[in-house]
């Protein structure tokens, strides 16, 4: 058993607890405000999930539905143009930030979804492979830079699972924040 204490902003609570539940069985969570009253302290005890249970739990949490994640997304043509412009800037030595990796992964995910809906086998296989690769790049970038907006569930998933649900989760969070600003 482990005793876990987390201090976070209230909107982060669900994501933090979801991420913990991917790896641990949690006892009831106790919540207290911090001294400044702006953040919360979470306390719980946890036991690691046995490997057979872990695989089942990970498969149950698929991330947001693609339609929900991409409802407010710009058209594929606009996103493709933006990603191509950013990639061209990279050729001139510009640094590729998180927004590039996120939008590229989301674009390829959307293309793969479209390709599998219309199912052209050779095209669908390549687009799914490219979408999976871009999603892994985003997850790696977020893990390295600590820039995730939701749980890093894709990073603890077995290799057989795709990182694409993680892309949808992150794109939805990013796009929601962008459109509310």
Report pLDDT for 161.
Answer: 62
Res 59 pLDDT > 50? no
What is the per-residue pLDDT across 106-152, written as a single tens digit (0 to 9) for each? 999 998 887 655 556 666 678 888 888 898 888 888 877 888 877 65
Buried b (16+ CB within 10 A) or exposed e, 12-47: bbebbbebbbbebebeebeeeeeeeeeebebebebe
* Helix axes of 164-180 and 98-118: crossing angle, nearest 10 degrees: 120
- Specify the pLDDT at position 54: 42
Other C-beta atoms lying within 10 Å of the C-beta of residue 52: 7
Beta bridge partners of residue 48, listed in sequence order? 24
pTM of the model: 0.61
Q: Residue 145 CA to chain centroid, in angstroms?
A: 14
Q: CA angle 6-57-110, nearest 5°?
A: 95
Tokens of 50: 């046995």
Q: Express as a percent the part of the chain with pLDDT over 70.
A: 78
Closest CA to 168 of 73, 92, 64, 61: 64
Closest-CA residue to 147 (of 157, 155, 156, 138): 138
H/E element holding 4? Answer: strand 2-8
CA distance 41 to 13: 9
Within a 13 Å sphere around the CA of 115, how many CA atoms are in the beta-carbon half? 19
Q: Among all chains, which residue has been given the structure tokens 């996103």? A: 79
Q: Tally the residues of the chain.
A: 181
Domains and CATH numbers, the chain: 1-61 (3.30.70), 63-181 (no CATH)
For residue 156, what pLDDT is reported?
A: 47
């Amino acid at each position: 058993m482990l005793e876990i204490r987390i201090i976070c902003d209230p909107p982060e609570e669900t994501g933090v607890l979801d991420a913990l539940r991917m790896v641990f069985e949690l006892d009831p969570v106790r919540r207290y405000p911090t001294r400044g009253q702006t953040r919360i302290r979470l306390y719980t005890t946890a036991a690691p999930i046995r490997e057979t249970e872990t695989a089942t739990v990970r498969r149950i949490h698929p991330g947001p539905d693609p339609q929900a994640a991409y409802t407010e997304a710009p058209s594929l043509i606009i996103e493709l143009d933006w990603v191509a412009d950013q990639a061209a800037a990279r050729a001139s030595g510009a640094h590729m930030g998180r927004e590039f990796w996120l939008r590229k992964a989301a674009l390829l995910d959307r293309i793969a979804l479209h390709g599998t809906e219309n199912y052209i086998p050779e095209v669908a296989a390549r687009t799914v492979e490219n979408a999976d690769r871009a999603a892994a790049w985003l997850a790696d970038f977020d893990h390295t830079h600590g820039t995730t907006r939701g749980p890093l569930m894709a990073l603890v998933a077995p290799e057989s699972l795709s990182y694409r649900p993680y892309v949808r989760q992150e794109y939805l969070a990013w796009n929601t924040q962008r459109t509310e600003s």
